[in-house]
Amino acid sequence: MIANANPLSNYSWYEANQTKPKGPTLSLLIPVYNERQVLTILYKRLVKVLNPLAISYEIVLVDDGSKDSSGDAMVDMCKTLPYLKVVRLSRNFGKEAALTAGLHYVSGDATIIMDADLQDPPELIPDMLAAWKEGYDVVTMRRITREGETWFKKFSAHSFYRLLNRVSDVDIPADTGDFRLMSKKAVEAINQLGERKRYMKGLFAWIGLPTKEITYHREARVAGTTKWNYGGLVGLALEGITSFSVTPLRLTMGIGVLTALVGLLFAAWIAIKTIFLGEIVPGYPSIISLMTVLGGVQLISIGLLGEYVGKTYFEAKQRPVFLLRDVTESRPLMINEKY
Ligand code: UDP
Ligand code: MG
């Protein structure tokens, strides 16, 4: 007798007939870090857009270790307001980790990621849902204007996206932040990616799937201040480039070859001058300039190499991307109970 010829025979009838409780149609995923001032405005504005749509939804708020009591405030909101799920992380892990965490707790057929500060207007949700219903798995939102940001931030963001696209192997859409819709299939794909150092915009692009782009005007923050400083943004930019390309390493190799060639030509020129023209070459300035240039090139290369080695080091440790403090959900509404 062939044992277990049918692979399904290991499953009991009971297991085969268990279906997971069906999630809502739409999940909103919002990372929150020190956003006490915007929470109520955010909830009100979301409900105003979502309720007329007559679909089932949940709002998943991820508290990224806020220090301003946003976490407690959100847990309190669960006691009185419906459709909320609050995921609190054990400390501040950064927006990328907060999104990673949230994507494990959304259960909707579609998930929309947006910022807590209402810079991503909720009024666009119906358009995003319409595109999803047309059959797209991902709906990306490209900013055509940005309110309330300095020209320097706009300029550096603009240049960074173009540079990243040139050097990276995947096509990461320009001027497109984390504000986007993803189907369940896309969310499951992201959840399969195991890397610890996560540049989400790159990962979102890496999975592919049919994508539609919608353009919009990015508003200024409703309240509070930005959580980013230039140090952090430069770090994120480096993370983005080194996570998705080894072009910088190749570039240093190119620079190495170039400097070596120039050095050789220079040496040949000196030899010719001394042997045939009998000129004694004054050495001090040329040696100093060569030494500093070469030293600089070498240090930059080592630094770059270090960036990649450091990455491997962090991946090898296999620490989780985030740690959970707790998860709180709103009480389900009773039948016929209206909010
Ligand atoms: N955020 C987060 N963890 C952080 C920093 C920011 O979850 O360590 C959240 C923040 O609460 C907001 C979103 O990420 O919902 C975008 O942050 P912010 O508005 O400060 O960035 P900006 O729009 O200025 O780029
Ligand atoms: Mg913002």
115: Cβ below 6 Å to ligand 1? yes
Q: Average pLDDT for residues 328-335, to the nearest whole number? A: 74
Model pLDDT, residue 4: 45
Q: Ligand 2 centre from 226 Cα, in Å?
A: 6
Q: Quote the Cα angle for 120-221-67, to 5°.
A: 105
Q: How far is CA 209 from the centre of its chain?
A: 17
Angle between helices 39-50 and 125-133 (to 10 degrees): 50
Helix (H) or strand (E) holding 95: helix 95-103
* Distance (Å, whole) CA 53 – CA 48: 10
The 3-state secondary structure of 187-252 reads HHHHHHCCCCCCCHHHHHHHCCCCEEEEEEEECCCCCCCCCCCHHHHHHHHHHHHHHHCCHHHHHH
Q: Where is average pLDDT lowest: 151-160, 180-189, 223-232, 329-338?
A: 329-338
Instruction: Ligand 1, residue 225: give the atom nearest the CA.
Output: 20
Query: Ligand 2 being an ion, which residues bring their Cβ within 5 A of it?
Result: 115, 117, 119
Which residue has 């959970």 as its token pair? 324
Confidence at residue 100, expressed as pLDDT on a 0 to 100 scale: 95
User: Is 50 exceeded by the pLDDT of residue 7?
Assistant: no
Separation of 255 CA from ligand 1 center, angstroms?
A: 37
Strand partners, 215: 142
Give the span between the Cα atoms of 115 and 14, in whole angstroms. 42
Residue 139: pLDDT band by 50, 70, 90 thresholds?
very high
For residue range 175-207, list pLDDT tens digits in order: 888 999 999 999 999 999 888 888 888 899 889
Nearest 5 degrees, angle CA 24-CA 91-CA 101?
Answer: 30
227 in contact with ligand 1, CB cutoff 6 A: yes
This model's pTM is above 0.80: no
pLDDT beyond 70 at 10: no
How far, in Å, is the centroid of ligand 1 from the Cα of 180?
15
Give the pLDDT mean for 241-269: 82
> Are 270 and 225 a contacting pair, CB within 8 Å?
no
* CA 223–ligand 2 middle distance (angstroms): 10
Ligand 1, atom nearest to 227 Cα:
20
